[in-house]
Structure 1
Amino acid sequence: MRSFASFAGLAAFLLAGSQLAAAHMEMSFPPPFRSKSNPHATNIDYSMTAPLSNSGSDYPCKGYHVDLGTPAGAPTASFAPGGTYNFTIVGGAAHGGGSCQASLSYDGGNTFTVIESIIGGCPLNSNYDFTIPSDAQAGQAIFAWTWFNQIGNREMYMNCAPVTIGGGSSKREIKERAEAFSARPQIFQANIGNGCATLESSAVEFPAPGPDVKDNGGPKQPPTGSCGAAAAPGGGSGGSPGGGSGGGAPTTTAAAPTIPATTVEAPKPTTEAPKPTVQPPRPSNSVPPKFSTRPGGIFITVSEATTLSTATKTASVAPPANTGSSPSTPSTGTGANTGPCTDEGAWNCIGGTAFQRCASGQWSAVIPMAAGTSCTPGTSDTLSMSGRRRAMMMRRRLSA
């Protein structure tokens, strides 16, 4: 009897451990490629919380950046140079936090330039502010969130989202921005078979964090091994001979090895970039947006007008009235709702071609329906969709 009880206890412990390991964290905004929160995704990955392969075979973006340029890779957010926004992290296992970076790629994922480094305490919160550099180029880009956990297996996590960067489009301005942007460091890579590793029980101190850094305190150490010319001398404690001080790329083969930032110049478009609809910067004293926790559906910010550029026409939504105003009148299906709302989690289908949701007491920005699908106009608890088989599947998920 005693042995059976011991076996049952061990089984329960192992099951709990496996569930915790499977949880991890993922970026929900901006919606990444193939994420369940991405309205354009056609091949959804329900294990987005998993880390990259320790061999580096799926770096970058778990390989999902190949969707860029296809309908499934349409932009899910628009940002303006100089504007302050936030990315959102969800999940159930933060592994003591760690260090994160936000990066942009303008060459389809071949290189990523760091725009924000957070050392320690990431991702212990849900929302993290970042600023699009004023020298960021206009056009289509990939926004990447990378995370190096503090406790547990030595891993690298990475989610990537297709975005649009607004701003000036003259050839001279594009050239000036590209030259300034290229001075920023390249993304930090470790624990993916490239000869560079992070140390457990401490947040990694990025060798080249860039000019925009947030240090949340706590224990931190530089990486160990061959981490590029910018790594700390000796590569931290226990580093391999010459690790971090010899300069150059990692000594082992890996996809897209780390390159010193000063040797990489961002691409210079030869044609004028379009002027996409730009999400207005959030005021610095505003409260970070909250997200609906109602099961199913899509997480949508309520304090930022996120623009999905694949729509043939972007719906114009008036800014919400002050919080003291009365709730808006429910939609009849012919227009968008604005301002406060009381039916938390309700959906509003606009003309069958776009939709929005009541989240955190406010009506969200308008999001266009995916190509080939439509919804039933009006306000209801579920978003009734019709069209392709994929749309029917989404309907079941959204109304679950």
Structure 2
Amino acid sequence: MLQKISHLNISKALVLLSLITVPAITTAHMAMNEPCPRYGNNGPNCPSPPSGQSYDYNIKAPIGTKEGIDQPLCKFSVPYEEPVAVWNAGESVKVSFMPNSAAHGGGHCQFSISYDGGSTFAVIHNVLKHCFCNGPNGGNTASVLSYDIPLPAHLPSGRAIFAWSWVNALGNREFYMNCADVQIKAHPDHSSSTQYTGPEMLVANYGADYPVIEEFNGNYDTGIEFYQQQKNITVGPSASNNSAGAGYSAKQPEAVAPEKQSQNIREAQQSLAQPFLPATQVAYSAPLQQSIPPPADAAAAPYSTPLAVAEVEPQVTHLAPAYSAISASKLSYHALPSSAPRRVYYANRHPKMRKLLSPVKHLRIATSSPRIQNSVSTERVDDGSSSSSSTNTKSTSSEKSPCANHGDMRCSKEGTGYDVCVFGKWVSMPCAAGTECSVGDNDTSPRCNWPKQK
């Protein structure tokens, strides 16, 4: 009898728990529904994810907050093989959002276009202040779930990425973004158009190097100045560096000669282990202690620029203070100039560590959060040097054989981590303590999971 009562009580508790949790699940955040965002599984005409990829079951989640970065812009770098929509420049297109979503009081939305795989986005339409709402709304229910977005007539033909981005009015200071793979057909009157110029998409509430738009608290002009200050950029299949206006350099970075890579890595390892200079000073990558007067445009730099990983020559630059040492991979380290486009990929919030792989133009590792200390490791370069990386990181071994496809992943031989193919070389990442790398039955992507009970 007691056992029967116990079972009944447990059943009632489970039912009560489900009633409590279901509303929270069904009203979580916002996400684009049409055109189908990458790896979406709810929108009309959503294809299966590309080979090796999984559906995005957290599609409504923000990609970052003012405290840090959860995922890179667009979240996923591997596009669908075919566009999910074909649009004609000069026409209006319908963009809809998932029902039963939380509008967080509205906020600022932008709709943008990229022709370079998502490195740069130019805005084609704004819905500021009251996105998802008909005027000021202190509640959480979205009253507007679709918009007719006018496509500029000068958009050039080609494969493109259409992006929706959002800064919410109420709640945690977050940044949302979904991206869709589309095909643009040029307007008949502008068939020779090869470029489109528009404001650069604003990225805010996305870690330490981006502006913070505070909670609106009834003032829907909050953060508008950031949108008004965005410079124009040029995008398109033929847009060199996709830049226009002040603050961008038209020169593409040159690759570091192979014989200089080992030297740059040693210098970076030594300098990374030391405290950074204030952001108002500049330094060469070696030695870091040798400061020099700031460049003429130092005061005009819009945001501080952290140390980054890229295959380019070291340059004089501003350094942000909140970054610590990482071990070196077969990439050269340098600090990006403050005028460089702020398109970056983060290995952040371990054990997620996702999207380091795709495409790794620049890698920033923010260490303002204690959760990612001692969590980043990369393959050491066997260059004959006895110098080692900071003891704050844990290196794991990996094969030094070349890899074919940038972005490929595999579990390490020991099963304690996983390897990522970065520009032809395997880079090792550890799993969190107590977890091990494994591949699911229906998924080719390695994951760090708790060991299965035997």
Larger Rg: 2
**Higher relative contact order (CA closer than 8 Å, sequence separation 6+):** 1
Normalising by the smaller structure, the TM-score range is 0.3 to 0.5
